[in-house]
Amino acid sequence: MSSSFGTRLKQFRDARGWSQERVGFELEVSKATVSKWETGRAQPSLAHLAKIRRLYASDGLTLDYLVDDTFAARTHQGEARLYVSEGASEPARTAQNEQEVALLTRFRASSPTRRRSLLNLLAE
């Protein structure tokens, strides 16, 4: 299932628990502009796309994913490689679909205590 640019942008905002106002502040745009991007009533400029990428880079956001719903394979120390790909056989430490990506994004944004709690829950 493919999602829209705005849905993917909102997914990263929500994973951090940020408001549209906070994202707007970080990107030097208004809350209304962020809302328009998320609802598909407007698209960001190339300059704003670059700022969005930098803002969420630590969460694993790539422009490939943001623009066309694909993840470029990334290799960073200790970081899972994220991508959406049909039938690819990759190591088990990669996210295979949007739900896994959302889970990993939220996990990374969580406190160490919440991470341990989540891992304990999943171990049951």
Structure-block tokens of residue 78: 């200790």
Looking at the chain, the number of H-run helices and the number of E-run strands are 7, 0
CATH number, domain of 109, equals: 1.10.260.40
Q: How far apart are CA 21 and CA 114, in angstroms?
A: 25
Domain of residue 44: give its range: 5-123
Q: The whole model's pTM is what?
A: 0.56
pLDDT for 4-55, tens place per residue?
889 888 988 888 889 999 999 999 999 999 999 999 999 999 999 999 988 8
Q: How many domains is the chain partitioned into structurally?
A: 1
